[in-house]
Structure 1
C-alpha cells in the first residue's frame, strides 16, 4: 500500500450510502458475491441503523471499509451473533471493486478486520468462498485461514451448482 491508496478504517453511520453503492456494484461486477443483481435491499435505513448500533457498541458486529475519496472501494463485514455462546465468533463477508483488485487492498482490509477481532477479544473468524474463486481463496489462506470443509453444491450460480469451501481462523 502506498500514500495514494484508499483509506482503511472502521465504517461509520455516514458511510451507509457509499457502502450500499459498493455492494450493488459488486453484485453486478462479480459472480462471487452471494447476492445477485437486484436482490439487495435498496432501503439505506437498515444499514444506517446497523452501522450506528455497531459504532455505539449495541451490536458486536463491525465493518471495515476502504475509501477512495468519498467512494467505498472495498469492505470486510464481520457479523457477530449477540448470543453468549457465539459472541466470540465472527462471520466474514468481503468484497473489493474490480479496479482495485490485485494491489494488496483485500489483504490490508482483512488484516485490519483480523486485528480488530483480536482487539475485541474474539476467538474465531469464519467464512465461505466459492471453490472456483482462486484469488479470494489464496488471499484467505495467506491471511491464516484454513479450509475446514467443503459445502458441496451449496449454491446455484447461473444455472450451475457451485461448491464452497468453509474456512476458519483461530485468533488465540
Structure 2
C-alpha cells in the first residue's frame, strides 16, 4: 500500500507531473488527443503550481497523483466557487484511496480560499470517477449530451457539484 501525504505543488514537480499526465492518459477521461513529443510544459500561465495539490509517497517522495483546483471564471460574481479541472492518480497507486484523499484535500483547500461550492466536469463513461465523486457528496447538476466525440462515439459531459460545509 502507498502511504501518501498531500501538499501544494512546486515548480520542481513539473517533470514528474507531466510524466504522470502522460502515463494516465486515457480516452475514458481525456478530451484532448494522446500527448506526443515534444511535450508542452506542465506548468504555464494558466496552469500554475499553486493551482495543484500533489499526493506524494511517504518515504520515496514520488508523486502519486494530483488535483487541480481553480476559480471557474475570473468573474467576481462567482469567486465563491472553485472548480476541479484535473485529477490523476498513478496506475501503481490506484485503489489505495489517493484519489479520495486528493478530492477531500481539494474541498478543504477550496474552503480555506473562501469557497462555499465546488464543481467539476466528468465524462459520462468515466464510471470510476463518477462513483468516487458521488461517494464524496457530489451530485449531477447538469448534462451536456454528446458534448464530445471520442474515438468515434459521442460522450456526454456531466457537470457535478456540491456545497462546502464548514
Q: TM-score range by the shorter chain?
A: 0.7 to 0.9
Is 2:126 aligned against 1:129? no
The change in CA–CA distance for 1:45 and 1:90 in structure 2 (over 3 A counts) is: closer
On the 8 A contact 2:53/2:67 being kept in 1, the answer is yes
Structure 2 distance, partners of 1:130, 1:47, is: 26
Is 2:64 aligned against 1:73? yes
For residue 34 of structure 2, what is the aligned residue in structure 1?
37
On the 8 A contact 1:89/1:125 being kept in 2, the answer is yes
Compute the RMSD of aligned alpha carbons: 2.4
Is 2:109 aligned against 1:116? yes
For residue 163 of structure 1, what is the aligned residue in structure 2?
156
Structure 2 distance, partners of 1:32, 1:96, is: 12
Structure 2 distance, partners of 1:89, 1:39, is: 34
TM-score (norm 2): 0.84
1:29-108 equivalences under 5 Å are 29=26, 31-38=28-35, 42-44=40-42, 46=44, 50-51=48-49, 54=50, 62-68=51-57, 69-80=60-71, 81-92=73-84, 93-108=86-101
Q: Which deviates more from structure 2 when the two are superposed, residues 63-72 or residues 148-157?
A: 63-72
The change in CA–CA distance for 1:124 and 1:44 in structure 2 (over 3 A counts) is: same
Structure 1 distance, partners of 2:154, 2:10, is: 37
Unaligned stretches of 5+ residues in structure 2: none
The change in CA–CA distance for 1:104 and 1:126 in structure 2 (over 3 A counts) is: same
TM superposition shift of 1:78: 0.7
The change in CA–CA distance for 1:78 and 1:15 in structure 2 (over 3 A counts) is: same
On the 8 A contact 2:27/2:150 being kept in 1, the answer is no
For residue 57 of structure 1, what is the aligned residue in structure 2?
none
